[in-house]
C-alpha cells in the first residue's frame, strides 16, 4: 500500500541516483514539483550500473550486459565500464541515447519508495529534493491548491507501486537461483590490440560479478528445469547469459567516447 504522506520512514543504504529523498507530502512540498530542462538525464550520467527487474531482462539484455552484484545478487544493467561514466548519456547534451531501452529504475526517478519495515507491505512515496529536476517553479506540481496529489503525482505513485511489485518478483527469482546454487563469480575481460588488430599484452579484467553458471544450469534435474521453464525464470536466465555478449559493444563504446574526447582509448576499468 502506498502513502503520499506518512511518518517519515527512514531510507537506509546507498541508493543509486538519489541524493536527498524525502517523504512526499503537501506540508513540505506544496507549490513544488518537477521542471524538465534541456539536459534531462544529467542525473544518470555518472551511473554505470542501473538495477533492473525480472520482467525487463528481455528488453535490457538486447543492449546491456545484465549482471548480478553484491551479497543480495542485485541484477543490474551495465551502462559503462568505470564509475562516473554512463556511455548512453551524451556528456555534451545530457540526453539519453535514442531508442535505447530505459530501465524502470530510471523512469521512476526522482520518485522512490521507503518501505515501512520487512514485515509490512506499506511504503511511503518519496521524492529526491536534491535532483536537478526538483523545482520551486514547476511544470509538473506535486499538489493542487487543495493540497491533493495532482494527476501527475498519482501516476507517479502508481508507477512506484508497480515497480515495488516487480522488485518483489525479482527478489523471489534471485532467491530461487541462490537456493539452486546457480551463481558463480565471473569476469569480463578486454584484450588490448595493436593497429594491425594483433593481441598486445595480457587480457585486462574490466568487471567482476556474479553470473549464472552454464555448467550448473546443465547439471539441474529435468524436473527442476521444467519448474524454471514454467515460472518464466528460465527465459530470464537465458536473457542474462546472452546479454553478456554486450561487453564487447560496451568496450567499443568506451573506446569511441575516449577517442572522441581527443585522447587515446585507455584500458577500460571496472
Tens of pLDDT, residues 174-225: 999 999 999 999 999 887 777 767 777 777 888 999 999 999 999 999 999 9
Beta carbons of 61 and 242 less than 8 angstroms apart: yes
Residue 8 has pLDDT above 80, yes or no: no
pLDDT tens digits along 60-118: 999 999 999 999 999 999 999 989 999 999 999 999 999 999 999 999 999 999 876 56
pLDDT of residue 116: 63
pLDDT of residue 117: 58
pLDDT tens digits along 135-187: 999 999 999 999 999 999 999 999 999 999 999 999 999 999 999 999 999 99
CA 163 from chain centre, in angstroms, equals 12
What's the rounded mean pLDDT across residues 225-238?
A: 97
pLDDT of residue 46: 95
Beta carbons of 15 and 126 less than 8 angstroms apart: no
Residue 5 has pLDDT above 60, yes or no: no
Residue 119 has pLDDT above 80, yes or no: no
pLDDT of residue 158: 97
Here the cell at position 208 is 567482476
pLDDT of residue 118: 61
Enumerate the domain spans of the chain.
Answer: 2-260
Instruction: Tell me which residue has cell 520551486.
Output: 136
What's the rounded mean pLDDT across residues 21-26?
A: 95
Give me the residues paired with residue 66 across strands: 77
pLDDT tens digits along 237-269: 999 999 999 999 999 999 888 776 544 444 433
- Work out the mean pLDDT of the chain and round it to a whole number: 88
Confidence of residue 16 (pLDDT cuts 50, 70, 90): confident
pLDDT of residue 123: 85
Amino acid at each position: 500500500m502506498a502513502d503520499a504522506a506518512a511518518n517519515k520512514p527512514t531510507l537506509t543504504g546507498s541508493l543509486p541516483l538519489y541524493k536527498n529523498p524525502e517523504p512526499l507530502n503537501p506540508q513540505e512540498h506544496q507549490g513544488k514539483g518537477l521542471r524538465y530542462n534541456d539536459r534531462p538525464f544529467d542525473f544518470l550520467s555518472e551511473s554505470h550500473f542501473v538495477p533492473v527487474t525480472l520482467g525487463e531482462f528481455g528488453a535490457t539484455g538486447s543492449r546491456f550486459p545484465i549482471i548480478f552484484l553484491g551479497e543480495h545478487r542485485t541484477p543490474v544493467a551495465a551502462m559503462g565500464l568505470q564509475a562516473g561514466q554512463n556511455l548512453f548519456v551524451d556528456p555534451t547534451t545530457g540526453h539519453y541515447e535514442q531508442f535505447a531501452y530505459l530501465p524502470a529504475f530510471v523512469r521512476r526517478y526522482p520518485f522512490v519508495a521507503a518501505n515501512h519495515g520487512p514485515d509490512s507491505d506499506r511504503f511511503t512515496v518519496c521524492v529526491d529534493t536534491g535532483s536537478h529536476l526538483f523545482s520551486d517553479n514547476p511544470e509538473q506540481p506535486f499538489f493542487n491548491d487543495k493540497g491533493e496529489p495532482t494527476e501527475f503525482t498519482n501516476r507517479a505513485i502508481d508507477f512506484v507501486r508497480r515497480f515495488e511489485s516487480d522488485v518483489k518478483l525479482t527478489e523471489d527469482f534471485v532467491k530461487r537461483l541462490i537456493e539452486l546454487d546457480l551463481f558463480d563469480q565471473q569476469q569480463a575481460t578486454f584484450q588490448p590490440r595493436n593497429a594491425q588488430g594483433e593481441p598486445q599484452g595480457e587480457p585486462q579484467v574490466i568487471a567482476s560479478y556474479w553470473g549464472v553458471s552454464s555448467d550448473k544450469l546443465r547439471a539441474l534435474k529435468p524436473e527442476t528445469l521444467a519448474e524454471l521453464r514454467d515460472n518464466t525464470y528460465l527465459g530470464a536466465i537465458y536473457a542474462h547469459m546472452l546479454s553478456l555478449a554486450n561487453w564487447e559493444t560496451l568496450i567499443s563504446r568506451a573506446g569511441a567516447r575516449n577517442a572522441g574526447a581527443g585522447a587515446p582509448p585507455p584500458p577500460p576499468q571496472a
